[in-house]
Amino acid sequence: MPHQSTVCLTTAQAIVRYLANQFIEIDGHERRLCGGGFGIFGHGNVTCLGEALYDHRDALPLYRGQNEQSMGFAAAGYAKQWLRQRFMFCTASAGPGTSNLLTSAALAHANRLPMLMLCGDTFLTRLPDPVLQQLEHFGNPTLGVNDAFKSVCRYWDRITHPAQIIQSLPQALATMLDPADCGPAFIALPQDVQGWSYEFPLSFFEKKVHRIRRISPDPLEIEEAAALLLTAQRPMIIAGGGVQYSGAVSELTTFAETHNIPVVETIAGRANMIATHPLNIGPIGVTGSDSANAIAAQADVVVAVGTRLQDFTTGSWTAFDAQARFIAINTARFDALKHMSQPIVGDAKTAMPMLSAALEGLRAPDAWMQTAQDERRKWDNYVARNVAPDNGPNSYAKAIGIVNALCDPRDRVVAAAGGLPAEVTANWRTLDIGTVDVEFGFSCMGYEIAGGWGARIAQTEREPDKDTIVFLGDGSYLLMNSDIYSSVLSGKKLIILVLDNGGFAVINKLQNNTGNESFNNLIADCPTVEAPFAVDFGAHAAAMGATAETVGNPSELAAAFKRAKAADKTYVITMQVDAYDGWTTEGHAWWEVGTPQVSESKKIRSAHVDQEAGRSNQRRGV
C-alpha cells in the first residue's frame, strides 16, 4: 500500500486548519461553513489555540469578546440570521472563562442552534495539579467545570490525544448541521494536549463542501396524517421557527393557499408570513393575538409545522379545544410525537407538498376562513389603537409602532427577555419574511445587544445596507451591555432602543397579577435601595463609542430613529416608558404559574382561585 501523506501539526493547529477548509453550499454559492469566532484569551487557550488562530486570521476572523456569555449569544444571533446553515465558534480559557459560556450554551440548546465551543481544560498529565482556576473533586479527578456542559450541549468531547480530532470534529459538525439534532457542540481542550503534535493525514484537511440533509417523511405517516386532515371542518396551521430553518416558507404559503387553511405563528415563527397576507391570522398563545387564540379554541385539526409547542404557544395547553387533534411535522422525532400528535417526521419543505398531494384537493370551508379573517381584522384594529403615538403614556407598543412605520422592510428586529418579547410579538407587523428574532426559547436577559451584534455580523455578509434593530429594557441593558463597545470596535452598526421602565416591570406585573405586592422588581420597590436614581443610559452608551440620545415622547423617538438610520455607527436611543400603564392587554392565553395554595393575604388567595379556574380547559396527558 502507498504511504499516506501526512503533516505534523499541533492539536490546535489541526483544529483550526480543518475548520478553515469546511464549506457549505447556500443558494448555489459556496461559503465557509464557519464564519469565524468570538474569543477571549487566557492561560487555557492563548498560547496554543491563539497561535493557530493567528495563522488563519483572514479565513476565520476572530472577534474580540467582552464577556464569554455574550460571545455565545452573539454566536446564536449569527446562526439564526444564517438559518442554521453557518456557525461561529467561541473560545474561552479554562475555568471561569469557560463556565461563563454555560448560559449561552443552554440558549443555543433550547433554540436548536449550532455553536462550537473550543474551551481550555486542565492538564491531561496532571503533573502541575492543581492548576489556576481548577475545580477539584475529591473522589473523581476527571471531573471539572467543562463536564457541566454535557447537559446543555448536543455533542461533547474531551480531547486526550491529538488523533481523536480526526473523529471528533466531523461528528461535531455533523451534529450542528443535522436538522433534527442541531445544537451546540463542546470540545474540551486540555492545555498540554493543545500543543501536542501528531502526523495528521493530509486528506483530513481537504476541502469539503457540506449540504444540510433533508429528511423525507415516511409515506405511511403522510397517509395517516392526510386521512385525519380530510376529516377536518376547522383546520388550522401553527407555523414555527422550523419553517424558516427548512427554507419552507414558500411551501407553507402554497399549502395554506391550496387548502384554504388559516395560519398562526409561534414566537420563533414570526415572519413566516408578512402581516398583510390574507391567511396570516396572527401570533398564537400567551403573548399572542385574540385572532389566533380565537380560532385555536375552535379548530378541530391543528397542523403544527416546525414547532416544539412551548407553553407560550399552547397557553400551557389550554388554548385548544379538548377534542382537537394534532398533526406535527418536524425533523425531530422528539418534537413530532408531543401530546399524542399524528407525527410526520421529516423536513417541512419535503413533507408539506407530499401531504398536499395526499389531500385530494381538500379545501377548508370558506365560512371557517371568513371567521378567521374577521378575527384578524378586529385584532389589526386593536393593534393600530395600541401603537398609536397619542394614545396614553409612553409604552413599549408605541415605540414598536414608531419603528415599524419607519424601518426598511428588510431590517432585522431583535428582542429577548422581559416584557418586550410579548409586546413585539403582539404588535409588530411583519414587513418581510425572516426579519424578526424574538429569543424566547430560553428567554435570556442579555441576549438582545449581543445577539444583535452576532446577527449584524451575519447581516453584513448578505445585506450590508440593512439595519439590525434591538429592543431592550433597562434591566437587560444593565445585565449585559458591553457589546455596544464590540459593535463600535468591529464597525457593525446597531440601532438600539432602550425602553426604561425603572426595573423589572413585567415581573412586577406578574407579581401584582397574582395578588402579590410590588417587591424587589421596580427600583422604587426595593427595600435595600436607599437613594433611587435614573441611570443615564445615553451617557453610558456614548462612553462606549456609540452615538446616543434620550427622547421624551414618541414624536421625538421618530425623529431620533430617522437620525439613527442615517448614522454610520451604533446608535442608542433611550425613552422612559410607564411601568404600569400602556401594556398590551389583549391577546393573552392562560399561562400556568405556581401560586400559593395557602396565604395570609386575601388578594393572593383570591388570585390563586382565579389562576386555578383557568386550568379548566387544560389538556391532560394528550
pLDDT tens for each residue of 579-608: 999 999 999 999 999 999 999 999 999 999
What cell numbers appear for 1 in the block?
500500500
The CA–CA distances, whole Å, from 528 to 448, 475, 523, 535 equal 28, 17, 10, 17
DSSP state letters, 480-505: S-THHHHHHHHT---EEEEEE-SB-H
Pair 499, 400 in one domain? yes
Q: Which pLDDT does position 3 carry in this prediction? A: 65
Among 210, 243, 269, residue at a domain's last position: 210
Pair 416, 513 in one domain? yes
Q: Which pLDDT does position 305 carry in this prediction? A: 98
Pair 370, 235 in one domain? yes
Pair 189, 274 in one domain? no
Q: Cα-atom radius of gyration of the chain, to the nearest Å?
A: 25
The CA–CA distances, whole Å, from 498 to 369, 430, 571 equal 39, 21, 11
Query: What's the rounded Cα separation, in Å, for the pair 162 and 12?
Result: 9
Q: Which pLDDT does position 622 carry in this prediction? A: 55
Give me the mean pLDDT over the 274-279 stretch: 98
Whether 2 is in a domain gets the answer: no
Pair 182, 116 in one domain? yes
Query: What's the rounded Cα separation, in Å, for the pair 395 and 405?
Result: 16
Pair 20, 108 in one domain? yes
38-61: pLDDT as tens digits = 999 999 999 999 999 999 999 999
Q: Please, what is the average pLDDT of the chain?
A: 96
Q: Are 92 and 119 in contact (CB under 8 A)?
A: yes
Kindly tell me if the per-residue pLDDT of 126 is higher than 60: yes
Q: Are 221 and 150 in contact (CB under 8 A)?
A: no
Q: Are 296 and 326 in contact (CB under 8 A)?
A: no
Confidence of residue 1 (pLDDT cuts 50, 70, 90): very low
Residue partners of 603: CB distance under 8 A and separation at least 6: 515, 516
Q: Which pLDDT does position 431 carry in this prediction? A: 98
What are the percentages of helix, strand and coil residues in the chain, rounded to 5? 40, 20, 40
Query: What's the rounded Cα separation, in Å, for the pair 259 and 363?
Result: 4
Confidence of residue 532 (pLDDT cuts 50, 70, 90): confident
Q: Are 396 and 423 in contact (CB under 8 A)?
A: yes
Q: Are 117 and 88 in contact (CB under 8 A)?
A: no
Query: What's the rounded Cα separation, in Å, for the pair 131 and 312?
Result: 45
The DSSP code for 518 is P
Pair 529, 551 in one domain? yes
Percent of the chain with pLDDT over 90: 95
364-376: pLDDT as tens digits = 999 999 999 999 9
547-573: pLDDT as tens digits = 999 999 999 999 999 999 999 999 999
Pair 119, 236 in one domain? no
Supply φ then ψ for residue 413, to 5 degrees: -110, 130
Question: b/e per residue, 415-441, with b = 16+ CB within 10 A?
Answer: bbbbbbbbbbbbbbebbebbbbbbbbb
Q: Are 614 and 338 in contact (CB under 8 A)?
A: no
Whether 184 is in a domain gets the answer: yes
Among 378, 409, 435, residue at a domain's last position: 378
Give me the mean pLDDT over the 78-106 stretch: 97
Beta-bridged to residue 22, according to DSSP, are 208
Whether 55 is in a domain gets the answer: yes
Pair 165, 244 in one domain? no
**How many structural domains are present in the chain?**
4
Pair 566, 437 in one domain? yes
Query: What's the rounded Cα separation, in Å, for the pair 205 and 397?
Result: 52
H helices of 246-347, where?
249-259, 290-296, 311-314, 333-336
Q: Are 339 and 619 in contact (CB under 8 A)?
A: yes
The CA–CA distances, whole Å, from 536 to 513, 522, 554 equal 30, 17, 19
DSSP state letters, 390-416: TSSS--HHHHHHHHHHHS-TT-EEEE-
Among 378, 404, 438, residue at a domain's last position: 378
Pair 469, 611 in one domain? no
If one compares 294 and 136, the residue with the highest pLDDT of the two is 294
Confidence of residue 403 (pLDDT cuts 50, 70, 90): very high
Give me the mean pLDDT over the 261-283 stretch: 97
The CA–CA distances, whole Å, from 54 to 13, 99, 159, 200, 525 equal 10, 24, 21, 20, 50
Its domain, for residue 537, covers 388-576
Whether 125 is in a domain gets the answer: yes
Pair 160, 34 in one domain? yes
Supply φ then ψ for residue 71, to 5 degrees: -60, -45
CATH number at residue 362: 3.40.50.1220
Q: Which pLDDT does position 153 carry in this prediction? A: 98
Whole-model pTM over 0.95: yes
- Nearest CA to 548 out of 574, 576, 570, 572 is that of 572
Find cell 430617522 and name the residue. Answer: 562
Whether 1 is in a domain gets the answer: no
Residue partners of 458: CB distance under 8 A and separation at least 6: 35, 77, 78, 81, 82, 86
Confidence of residue 489 (pLDDT cuts 50, 70, 90): very high
Q: Which pLDDT does position 621 carry in this prediction? A: 61
Whether 475 is in a domain gets the answer: yes
Strand ranges inside 48-174, DSSP E? 62-64, 87-92, 115-121, 155-158
Confidence of residue 227 (pLDDT cuts 50, 70, 90): very high
Whether 531 is in a domain gets the answer: yes
Question: b/e per residue, 529-546, with b = 16+ CB within 10 A?
Answer: eeeeeeeebbebbeebeb
The CA–CA distances, whole Å, from 449 to 1, 39, 41, 456 equal 56, 17, 22, 10
Q: Is 63 exposed, middle or buried (0-12, 13-18, 19+ CB in 10 A)?
A: buried
Query: What's the rounded Cα separation, in Å, for the pair 305 and 149?
Result: 30
CATH number at residue 61: 3.40.50.970
Distance of CA 491 to the CA centre of its chain: 23
What cell numbers appear for 309 in the block?
409547542
Whether 301 is in a domain gets the answer: yes
The CA–CA distances, whole Å, from 16 to 30, 45, 97 equal 19, 13, 20
Cα three-residue angle 578-74-488, rounded to 5 degrees: 80
Residue 578: CB atoms within 10 A of its CB come to 15
